[in-house]
A = this chain, B = another copy of it.
């Protein structure tokens, strides 16, 4: 099934690198799409450049009406997981979510700033990746890694111009030249 990531909020200059890391983490760990609620050319360009060079079909979208988007997603065979330090213990709730994922798509919400109450209410699951303050990038990474059990981590991306061959002791990069 499909995974999308909704980044709620984005405070321009302050968040631009963190938001880029959120998007690239989503792509690298197996999500199909990142959705922002605020436009940021810098972030969009960074993500599109990565997709162009490293391949795959990762989508980038900016929406204004995020509540509608969530409701629509739920109506179309989707469940919504909001990652928050206040949420239920991921160690305890992950099995249930994985079971749902066998037949449903997942929308993962990660907030930039304080998340509006409606996000908590619209979510099917409010999940904490630990109850300590750390990072939405870390939370998203761990959630996706556990959801996919490491399986998406080394998949091939179609039409990649750059590809790395993993190695403990050397840098091995394959670069496909344009004809």
Enumerate chain A interface residues (CB-CB to B < 8 A). 14-15, 17-18, 21-22, 24-25, 27-29, 50, 54, 85-91, 93, 120, 125-135, 137-142, 145-146, 150, 153-154, 157, 163-173
Cα distance A90–B28 in the bound complex, in angstroms: 14
Rounded to whole angstroms, the CA-CA distance of A17 and B113 in the bound complex is 13
CB-based contact B130/A28 at 8 Å: yes
A14 vs chain B, min Cβ distance (A): 7
Q: Once the chains are docked, how many angstroms separate the CA of A153 from the CA of B86?
A: 13
Please state if A134 and B17 are interface contacts (CB–CB under 8 Å): no
Cβ–Cβ contact A29 & B85, under 8 A: no
For A58, give the chain B residue with the smallest CB separation: B132
A91–B29 Cα distance when bound, in Å, is: 13
Q: How far is the CA of A89 from the CA of B137 in the complex (A)?
A: 21
* A17 touches which of B14, B54, B138, B153 (Cβ 8 Å): B14
List 11 additional contacts besides A27-B134, A91-B153; criterion CB under 8 Å: A21-B134, A21-B135, A29-B130, A29-B138, A54-B132, A126-B169, A130-B153, A130-B154, A134-B141, A137-B138, A138-B140
